[in-house]
Amino acid sequence: MNAIPDDTRQMARIRQRTQALSEEYYSAYQGWFGRGQQVISDADARRVLEAARGELRRLQEGQSAGRIDAPGAATGRLQLLDIAENVVRCETVSGPLKQEIRHFMVDIIPEVMLPGSGYRYTQDWFSYHEGMWLAHFGSLAGRPGLRFLEIGSYEGRSACWIAEQLLTGEGSILVCIDPFSGYPDQESNFDHNVNASPDTGRKILKLRGRSCEVLHFLPAGEFDFIYIDGSHAGLDIMQDAARAWGLLKQHGIMVFDDYGNTKLPVLSGLAVKPAIDAFLGRMDGQYDVLFKGFQVAICKH
Ligand SMILES: C[S@@+](CC[C@H](N)C(=O)[O-])C[C@H]1O[C@@H](n2cnc3c(N)ncnc32)[C@H](O)[C@@H]1O
């Protein structure tokens, strides 16, 4: 019998590891790592990351549509994780890009590597901000009776973090507003995540609906902290900001997400940053800026 050439054996091994992934991705993967390539440029690493993101979306869509079963999707995620780890190990990849890849890995890890963690997340729009939030708002932890409001909760990632890290004082609560209608499994994942720990579940109150339908039911001047991360259409942001301002206590804190995100589409003729700037300009003199970057945080006088 002929000996299998090393290259073919290596290819067969890789194929076995990547079989839940698409042919297209597999071919690209083969090109990147198939020949035991140790040197990878930032441009290549970014292509791997973008392709892996696309694959993750494909797995999620396939799973929601019933084309891929849960174990198949979990295997695919593990393989993506494996590929990302390969890239992160390459010494030639720059620090910031490695950091971005690690965030991508964090998105995958909770479901496949840490089943005991109990969370079901498909996106991570929040962990980048945790350090900043701890530095600025960490002193709220332990205070009793805090009232937080979040507009836009998705699967509860930011909500769970807030509940676990900041709402640790007796009787502190978070109200979450979201229509829960835009993404498959969004609401069931939210319910699962906030109830993953009974301590978190009892602090979170879910209000299903768009902010414009729900905010006017809430008591004026009663909230210590409002996080605006719902609709990204300019006019909606201005309305959310104006309504939320009335709900905020004196010395309350308001945080807007995506202020510095230049990659968002312009909706309703107004981008996120100009919409927030319009609100901030109108309220000038009535708040202090705590920080302004990708997010902006203000404290009401
Ligand atoms: C970026 S996600 C929120 C992410 C979440 N804060 C986190 O960090 O995990 C935006 C959310 O806003 C919700 N949303 C969209 N339009 C909304 C509206 N008019 N009112 C309230 N929520 C809205 C979407 O359903 C989606 O869940």
> Between the CA of residue 277 and those of 11, 68, 136, 274, what are the distances in Å?
54, 44, 21, 5
Residue among 211, 244, 212 nearest 225 (CA) = 244
Asked, for residue 150, whether it belongs to a domain, the answer is yes
pLDDT of residue 5: 45
Q: Are residues 110 and 132 located together in one domain of the fold?
A: no
Specify the pTM: 0.68
* Ligand 1 pocket mutation, candidates 162, 180, 231, 256, criterion most atoms within 8 A of CB: 231
Q: Are residues 49 and 71 located together in one domain of the fold?
A: yes
In ligand 1, the atom with minimum distance to the C-alpha of 258 is: 1
Burial 9-45 (b: 16+ CB within 10 A, else e): ebeeebeebbebbbeebbebbeebbbeeeeebeeebb
Q: Are residues 168 and 290 located together in one domain of the fold?
A: yes
Q: Are residues 72 and 46 located together in one domain of the fold?
A: yes
- Count other C-beta atoms under 10 Å from residue 139's C-beta: 10
Say if residues 88 and 81 touch (Cβ distance below 8 Å).
Answer: no
CA-nearest residue for atom 6, ligand 1, is 153
Cβ(124) – ligand 1 distance below 6 Å: no
pLDDT of residue 108: 67
Cβ(182) – ligand 1 distance below 6 Å: yes
Asked, for residue 122, whether it belongs to a domain, the answer is no
Q: Are residues 83 and 204 located together in one domain of the fold?
A: no
Cβ(153) – ligand 1 distance below 6 Å: yes
Please state the domain count of the chain: 2
Q: Are residues 138 and 81 located together in one domain of the fold?
A: no
Provide Rg for the chain, Cα atoms: 22
Asked, for residue 121, whether it belongs to a domain, the answer is no
CATH of the domain at 272: 3.40.50.150
pLDDT of residue 257: 96
Q: Are residues 277 and 203 located together in one domain of the fold?
A: yes
C-alpha–C-alpha distance, residues 234 and 292, integer Å: 18
Phi and psi at 63, nearest 5°, equal: -70, -45
Ligand 1 centre to CA of 159 (Å) is 11
Cβ(154) – ligand 1 distance below 6 Å: yes
Cβ(240) – ligand 1 distance below 6 Å: no
pLDDT of residue 113: 39
Q: Are residues 20 and 75 located together in one domain of the fold?
A: yes
Ligand 1 centre to CA of 149 (Å) is 13
Q: Which domain holds residue 12?
A: 6-115
C-alpha–C-alpha distance, residues 120 and 136, integer Å: 28
pLDDT of residue 45: 85
- Provide the token pair at 201: 């579940």
Complete edge-to-edge strand list for the sheet that includes strand 248-256? 204-208, 173-178, 147-151, 223-228, 248-256, 296-300, 287-292
Asked, for residue 120, whether it belongs to a domain, the answer is no
pLDDT of residue 266: 74
Last residue of a domain, one of 115, 138, 159: 115
pLDDT of residue 192: 93
* Residue 131 burial class via C-beta count within 10 angstroms: exposed 0-12, middle 13-18, buried 19 and up: exposed
pLDDT of residue 185: 83
**Bridge partners of residue 173, in order along the sequence:** 147
pLDDT of residue 2: 41
Ligand 1 centre to CA of 79 (Å) is 29
Q: Are residues 251 and 279 located together in one domain of the fold?
A: yes
Q: Are residues 290 and 261 located together in one domain of the fold?
A: yes
Asked, for residue 123, whether it belongs to a domain, the answer is no
Q: Are residues 228 and 99 located together in one domain of the fold?
A: no
**pLDDT lower than 50: segments of the chain:** 1-6, 110, 112-116
Asked, for residue 22, whether it belongs to a domain, the answer is yes
Cβ(151) – ligand 1 distance below 6 Å: yes
Alpha-helical (H) ranges within 65-142 are 70-89, 95-112, 130-137
